[in-house]
Structures are given as structure tokens and as C-alpha cells.
Copies of this chain bind each other. A is one copy, B any other.
Amino acid sequence: MNNPLADHPGFLLRGAARYWTTLLSRRLLPLNLSVTEASILMVIHHNPGISQVAIGRFLNVQRANMAPLVHSLLQHGWIHAFKVDGRTQGLGVTDEGKRLVGHIETVFGDHRRDILSAVPEDMRAFVIPLLSAMVTHEEILNQVS
């Protein structure tokens, strides 16, 4: 098989992201959480009082799609909301939510370790800086859309 895409970083990027995202969503299945829901809980936990729009901006989730996600987390009792001003609500993780965050941190940690150990040891230190460099232009797209 002659592979014309083997040296295309975009193709490899898509393949890697798809593989590891699928694996992570399977790992979160026992917690009944999607990757995005788990990420939202982590972001709220580390940024108590954050608004759902700010979370969406950070995780690349549209305002319109944040509404049902936050609603679901509220209904499960994992997060709570309080008024910041008339239009903005701050979010925080409840005690029950904090137990769940503990489980998420374990899953995320395992997942992180597995990705890194797939990379040969001599390149492992470059993973985070290299991938970080490839997402730095994110704002440009957000402007356009």
C-alpha cells in the first residue's frame, strides 16, 4: 500500500486525535460522561465561579451547545450555579461533583500516561511543547466563525 499521506502532519494529527479521543470516551463510559462533559467539570473545578460562556470559549464549544451540557450537569447535582449579575451565572462543583472529579482525574491521568508512553522516550519531552505550538493559532479560526 502506497501511502501518499504518511508524511502529512494534518492526516497524522486527525488519526491520533480520533484514536485517543475514542479511547478516552470509552474510559469515561462507566462514569456516564462524554469527553466534553468531563472536561467541563475539570475546568469548573479549577476555576470556581467561571461562566458557561467562558468555558465554551476555552473548550471550543458554542454558547448554544453549552446550555444543555450545563443543564445536565446541574440536574445530576455535580455542579451548582449562582448569580454573578443579572445575565451571568457563576458555576461551581458540588461535594458530590468533587467525588466525580476525583474519578475523572484518575481516568485523565491514566490516559495521559498511555499517550506519552506510545511516544519513544527520546521524543517524549517534546510532546506537550510541540502540540501546544500546533494549537496556538486557535483564535484565528474563532474570529472567522
Contacts and interface: CB of A to CB of B under 8 A. Distances in A.
Interface residues of A, number: 57
Given A17-B14, A17-B16, A2 B47 contact: yes
Nearest to A124: B130
A123 to B, nearest CB: 5
B135 A119 contact: no
Interface of A: 1-24, 39, 42-43, 45-47, 50, 54, 58, 60, 108, 111-112, 115-116, 118-120, 123, 126-138, 141
10 contacts: A3-B43, A4-B45, A8-B108, A10-B111, A12-B135, A13-B21, A23-B141, A115-B134, A120-B129, A126-B130
